[in-house]
């Protein structure tokens, strides 16, 4: 049997000094007409070559492995804590002027990103990943804790917005996976100093909100499939608390919120997860050894690269090892977040949107073909290495792509209300070619991307 390899080629359209459009081809070991930028290190030509090589390596490694169909999802990004809290109190009006904390806009976003207008509005993704803000649930009737947010009226408004999103996802037959993302104000509302609070104090603050959240969803008649109550101990959780919780602390917290969630109304059938990112393998090993599968059902792995595209395949191999270890211990393994390689300075200690030369919403990534190739590769790669679920984090790019390549244009810290994310919310209704390529993951494996096929002339696979 002839072994098949995926050969990726991407094209960037750019304009030379004569004003005529030229094509920049990236294939393994070959570039033609590719621009360089001396102020970038590495420049985009080098980045593209490294990315293609990484994709080639991943494709070759999985070529002979079974790739069963798995569930796929998208992040409800503008409804996450990051964005829903970017709006200021008072935007609830009347009239409502909130950009993200706006039920009408968020539901329109869901329809734009999740529904396939070419197929009777069938869901492109059947699952929604939601990094939800827990603080509004202090205003739910089901809340029994003692947190006091600084603006209870605004939190009550945010609760109505989150209720609307939950009900709209149910209306569209999209299942919900929750991963609460408590930011610093959540802890201060409990009278805690995040950087010095103990695990027990954190649990005492969050668990009543988690219980209220689950019970409130049950009151709404909306089901929750998965609940990841703690994620990225050295990433998001560290950024918001200023401390890195120990392996034993994380195990204790998982144990407590598992009991809380499963004991809440409607919570008995929810799968409990914990999220991990790169360099957090110690947590994986410790939790497998110290928690029962009745307490923890799955590990949610966040599939992000580092500051160098050259080691993207190696980093992804680390995540595959996480999954292998989890499965061997009797736990499930799901990709809770993921994103394509990001073009960052080689000196950047962390490669995120704020550190990037060009950010996720740049239309050039579509012309270049990176998003399309990545969408074609990742769900099959995840399936080959034992993941039962895969999701794409930056769902913005399925809805709108902007002309600006400004670094950080996907994050609120770079002016989301007036920058790219705000522009996305003002231009809903049209699915981009990136969104079209994402549809392939819904059709796969009925439509196989192994073999000699071409996508829009931009991506060649042999």
pLDDT band at 461 (very low <50, low <70, confident <90, very high): very low
pLDDT of 458 higher than 70? no
Judge contact between 309 and 341, C-beta under 8 A. Answer: yes
What are 281-296's pLDDT values in tens digits? 999 999 999 999 999 9
**Quick one: angle between helices 44-62 and 370-384, nearest 10?**
30
Give, in degrees to the nearest 5, the angle at Cα 141 between 157 and 85. Answer: 30
All structural domains of the chain: 67-451 (3.20.20.80)
Beta bridge partners of 128: 74, 176
Q: How far is CA 106 from the centre of its chain?
A: 17
Better-scored residue on pLDDT, 446 or 314: 314
* pLDDT of amino acid 416: 61
pLDDT value at residue 228: 98
Provide mean pLDDT across the span 406-410: 61
Q: Is the pLDDT of residue 160 over 70?
A: yes
- pTM of the shown model: 0.88
Name which of 108, 165, 117, 125 is nearest 427 in CA terms: 108
Cα 258 to Cα 274: distance, rounded to the nearest angstrom? 10
The residue among 22, 142, 66, 130 whose CA lies nearest residue 385 is: 66
Q: What is the DSSP string of 38-101?
A: TTSSS-HHHHHHHHHHHHHHHHHHHTTS-----EEEEE-GGGSHHHHTTSPTTTT-SSP--SSS
Instruction: With cut-offs at 50, 70 and 90, classify the pLDDT of residue 448.
Output: very low
Burial class (CB in 10 A: 0-12, 13-18, 19+), 66: exposed
Confidence of residue 194 (pLDDT cuts 50, 70, 90): very high
| CA-only gyration radius of the chain, Å | 22
């Amino acid at each position: 049997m002839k072994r098949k390899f995926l050969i990726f080629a991407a094209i960037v359209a750019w304009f030379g000094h004569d004003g005529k459009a030229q094509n920049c081809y990236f294939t393994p070991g070959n570039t033609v007409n590719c621009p360089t930028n001396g102020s970038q290190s590495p420049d985009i030509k080098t980045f593209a070559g490294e990315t293609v090589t990484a994709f080639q390596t991943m494709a070759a490694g999985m070529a002979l492995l079974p790739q069963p169909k798995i569930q796929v999802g998208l992040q409800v990004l503008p409804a996450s804590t990051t964005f829903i809290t970017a709006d200021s109190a008072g935007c609830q009006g009347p009239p409502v002027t909130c950009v993200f904390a706006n039920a009408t806009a968020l539901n329109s976003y869901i329809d734009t990103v999740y529904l396939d207008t070419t197929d009777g509005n069938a869901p492109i993704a059947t699952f929604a990943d939601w990094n939800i803000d827990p603080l509004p649930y202090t205003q739910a009737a089901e809340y029994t804790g003692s947190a006091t947010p600084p603006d209870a009226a605004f939190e009550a408004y945010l609760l109505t917005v989150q209720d609307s999103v939950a009900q709209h996802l149910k209306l569209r037959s999209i299942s919900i996976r929750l991963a609460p993302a408590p930011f610093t104000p959540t802890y201060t509302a409990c009278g805690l100093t995040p950087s010095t609070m103990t695990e027990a104090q954190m649990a005492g603050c969050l668990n009543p909100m988690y219980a209220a959240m689950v019970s409130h969803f049950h009151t709404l008649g909306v089901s929750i499939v998965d609940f990841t109550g703690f994620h990225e101990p050295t990433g998001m959780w560290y950024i918001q608390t200023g401390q890195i919780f120990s392996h034993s602390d994380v195990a204790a917290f998982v144990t407590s919120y598992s009991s809380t969630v499963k004991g809440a109304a409607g919570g008995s059938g929810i799968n409990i997860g914990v999220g991990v990112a790169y360099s957090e393998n110690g947590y994986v090993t410790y939790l497998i050894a110290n928690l029962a599968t009745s307490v923890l059902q799955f590990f949610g792995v966040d599939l992000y690269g580092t500051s160098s595209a050259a080691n993207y395949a190696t980093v992804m191999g680390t995540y595959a090892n996480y999954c292998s270890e989890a499965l061997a211990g009797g736990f499930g393994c799901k990709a809770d977040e993921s994103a394509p390689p990001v073009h960052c300075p080689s000196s950047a200690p962390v490669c995120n949107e704020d550190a990037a030369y060009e950010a996720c919403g740049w239309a050039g990534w579509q012309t270049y073909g990176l998003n399309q190739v990545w969408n074609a590769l990742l769900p099959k790669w995840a399936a080959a290495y034992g993941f039962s679920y895969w999701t794409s984090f930056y769902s913005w790019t399925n809805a709108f792509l902007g002309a600006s390549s400004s670094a950080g244009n996907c994050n609120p810290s770079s002016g989301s209300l007036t920058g790219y994310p705000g522009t996305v919310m003002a231009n809903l209704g049209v699915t981009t070619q990136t969104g079209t390529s994402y549809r392939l993951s819904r059709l796969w494996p009925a439509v196989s991307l192994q073999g000699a096929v071409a996508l829009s002339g931009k991506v060649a696979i042999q």
